[in-house]
Structure 1
Amino acid sequence: MKIIWNVFCKIFKYGINILNLIRITISNIILLILIIIGITTYINIQHNKQIIHPSALVLNIKGIIVDKPTTCTKFQQISKHFLNINQSDIQENSLFYIVNILRQAKNDPNITGLILSLKNFSGGNQSSLEYIGKTLLEFKKSGKLIYAISDNYNQSQYFLASYANKIYLTPQGSVDLRGISTSKLYYQSLLKNLKINTHVFRVGAYKSAVEPFIRNNMSSQVRHEENIWINQLWDQYLNIISCNRNITKQQIFPGINTIFNELYNMNGDTANYAYHKKWIDKVESRFDIENEMKKIFGKNKKNNSFNAISMYDYKLQESNKQQHDNNQIAIICIQGTIIDGVNSNNISGSVGGDTIAYQIRNARFDPKIQSIILRINSPGGSVHASELIRQEIIATRNSGKPVIVSMGNIAASGGYWIATPANFIIASNSTITGSIGVFGIINTLEESLDAIGVHNDEVSTSPIANLSVAKALPVEFKNIMQLYVDTSYQYFIKTVAKFRCKTIADLDQIAQGHIWTGSDAIKHGLIDKIGDFDDAISKAVELAHLTQYQLNWYEDTANWIDVLIQQMNRIFYSTTIKKTYNHILFLNINEFAKIHYNNNSNPFSCIWNDPKHCYALCTDYVQYN
Structure 2
Amino acid sequence: MRKLWHFTAALFKWSWKLLNFVRQFIFNLIFILLIVVVVVGVIVYQQQSKLDDNYHGALYVNLSGIVLDRVTDRSPFEQFAKNLLDPSNSNDKETSVFDIVDSIRRAKNDPKITGMVLKLDDFIGTNQTSMRYLGKAINEFKAAGKPVFAIGDSYSQSQYYLASYANEISLSPLGSVDIHGFSTNQLYYKSLLDTLKVSTHIFRVGTYKSAVEPMLRDDMSKEARASDSLWLNELWNDYLNTIAVNRHIPADQVFPGTANFIEKFRKAGGDASLYAYQNKLVDYIEPRSVVEKKMQEKFGWNKEQKHFNYISIYNYIDQKPIQNTNNKGNIAVIVAEGAILDGKQSPGIVGSDTLVEQLREAHHNPNIKAIVLRVNSPGGSIGASEIIRNELAAIRDDKTGNAKPIVVSMGGLTASGGYWISTPANYIIADPSTLTGSIGVFGVIQTVEKSLNYLGVNTDGVSTTPLADISATKGINQTFSDVMQLAIENGYSKFIGLVANSRNKSLDEINNVAQGRVWSGIDAKKHGLVDQLGDFDDAVKKAAELAKIKDVSLDWMQPELSFSEKFMRGMTSSAQALLPNTLQSMLPAPFAEVAQDVKKQATFYNNMKDPQNIYTFCLNCVDIR
Q: CA deviation at 1:35?
A: 4.4
Matching of residue 382 in structure 1 with residue 381 in structure 2: yes
The 2-side partners of 1:436 and 1:206 are apart by 9
Q: CA deviation at 1:33?
A: 6.0
1:174 alignment partner, SS class:
coil
How many pairs are equivalent?
A: 586
2:174 alignment partner, SS class:
strand
Give the aligned partner of residue 59 of structure 1: 61
Give the aligned partner of residue 401 of structure 1: 404
Q: CA deviation at 1:613?
A: 0.4
Q: Which moved more, 1:148-157 or 1:454-463?
A: 454-463
Identify if the C-alpha distance between structure 1 residues 457 and 118 changes in structure 2 by more than 3 Å, giving closer, same or farther.
same
The 1-side partners of 2:219 and 2:71 are apart by 34
1:312 alignment partner, SS class:
helix
The 1-side partners of 2:419 and 2:361 are apart by 22
Identify if the C-alpha distance between structure 1 residues 23 and 122 changes in structure 2 by more than 3 Å, giving closer, same or farther.
closer
Give the aligned partner of residue 436 of structure 2: 433
Give the aligned partner of residue 40 of structure 1: 41
1:552 alignment partner, SS class:
strand
Give the aligned partner of residue 6 of structure 1: none
Give the aligned partner of residue 350 of structure 2: 351
Identify if the C-alpha distance between structure 1 residues 481 and 43 changes in structure 2 by more than 3 Å, giving closer, same or farther.
farther
**Alignment TM-score, normalising by the size of structure 1:** 0.87
Give the aligned partner of residue 3 of structure 1: none
Alignment of 1:143-158 (within 5 A): 143-158=145-160
Which of residues 531, 535, 538 in structure 1 aligns to 2:538? 535
Alignment of 1:278-427 (within 5 A): 278-314=280-316, 315-318=318-321, 320-325=323-328, 327-343=329-345, 346=346, 348-399=347-398, 400-427=403-430
The 1-side partners of 2:200 and 2:506 are apart by 35
Give the aligned partner of residue 618 of structure 1: 618
Alignment of 1:177-256 (within 5 A): 177-256=179-258
Give the aligned partner of residue 14 of structure 1: none
1:148 alignment partner, SS class:
strand
Contact 1:338 1:382 in 2 (8 A): yes
Q: Which moved more, 1:165-174 or 1:352-361?
A: 352-361
Give the aligned partner of residue 587 of structure 1: none
User: Structure 2: which amino acid aligns with 1:613?
Assistant: N
Give the aligned partner of residue 262 of structure 1: 264
Contact 1:202 1:482 in 2 (8 A): yes
Q: CA deviation at 1:514?
A: 1.1
The 2-side partners of 1:181 and 1:496 are apart by 30
Please list the CA deviations of residues 413-442 of structure 1 after superposition, one character each: whole Å capped at 9, or x if unmatched. 000000001111111000000010000010
Matching of residue 453 in structure 1 with residue 456 in structure 2: yes
Which of residues 468, 473, 476 in structure 1 aligns to 2:476? 473
The 1-side partners of 2:389 and 2:604 are apart by 26
* % same residue: 43
Give the aligned partner of residue 103 of structure 2: 101
Please list the CA deviations of residues 19-76 of structure 1 after superposition, one character each: whole Å capped at 9, or x if unmatched. 9999999999986765443333234345553253631110000100011111559779
The 2-side partners of 1:558 and 1:119 are apart by 33
Please list the CA deviations of residues 201-237 of structure 1 after superposition, one character each: whole Å capped at 9, or x if unmatched. 0000110101111111111111111111100000000
Contact 1:184 1:602 in 2 (8 A): no
Q: Which moved more, 1:380-389 or 1:549-558?
A: 549-558
**Alignment TM-score, normalising by the size of structure 2:** 0.87
User: Structure 2: which amino acid aligns with 1:509?
Assistant: N
Identify if the C-alpha distance between structure 1 residues 387 and 50 changes in structure 2 by more than 3 Å, giving closer, same or farther.
same
Matching of residue 110 in structure 1 with residue 112 in structure 2: yes
Cα-Cα RMSD: 3.1
Give the aligned partner of residue 128 of structure 2: 126
The 1-side partners of 2:589 and 2:214 are apart by 33
Contact 1:152 1:175 in 2 (8 A): yes
Q: CA deviation at 1:541?
A: 1.1
Give the aligned partner of residue 444 of structure 1: 447
1:172 alignment partner, SS class:
coil
Contact 1:39 1:78 in 2 (8 A): no
2:173 alignment partner, SS class:
strand
Identify if the C-alpha distance between structure 1 residues 395 and 373 changes in structure 2 by more than 3 Å, giving closer, same or farther.
same
Identify if the C-alpha distance between structure 1 residues 483 and 605 changes in structure 2 by more than 3 Å, giving closer, same or farther.
closer
Contact 1:437 1:489 in 2 (8 A): yes
Please list the CA deviations of residues 504-533 of structure 1 after superposition, one character each: whole Å capped at 9, or x if unmatched. 111110111111110011111111111111
The 2-side partners of 1:558 and 1:226 are apart by 41
Contact 2:205 2:489 in 1 (8 A): yes
User: Structure 1: which amino acid aligns with 2:230?
Assistant: I
User: Structure 2: which amino acid aligns with 1:552?
Assistant: D
Q: CA deviation at 1:556?
A: 2.6
The 2-side partners of 1:72 and 1:388 are apart by 25
Q: CA deviation at 1:183?
A: 1.6
1:354 alignment partner, SS class:
helix
The 1-side partners of 2:211 and 2:125 are apart by 24
Contact 1:156 1:624 in 2 (8 A): no
User: Structure 2: which amino acid aligns with 1:42?
Assistant: I
User: Structure 1: which amino acid aligns with 2:63?
Assistant: I
Please list the CA deviations of residues 234-281 of structure 1 after superposition, one character each: whole Å capped at 9, or x if unmatched. 000000000000000111001123222222232211111110010000
Matching of residue 607 in structure 1 with residue 607 in structure 2: yes
2:153 alignment partner, SS class:
strand
Contact 1:79 1:85 in 2 (8 A): no
Contact 1:209 1:603 in 2 (8 A): no
Q: CA deviation at 1:357?
A: 1.5
The 2-side partners of 1:319 and 1:342 are apart by 28
Alignment of 1:443-592 (within 5 A): 443-557=446-560, 576-577=589-590
Contact 2:86 2:590 in 1 (8 A): no
Identify if the C-alpha distance between structure 1 residues 75 and 179 changes in structure 2 by more than 3 Å, giving closer, same or farther.
farther
Q: Which runs of 5+ in 1 are unaligned?
A: 1-18, 582-589
Contact 1:171 1:271 in 2 (8 A): yes
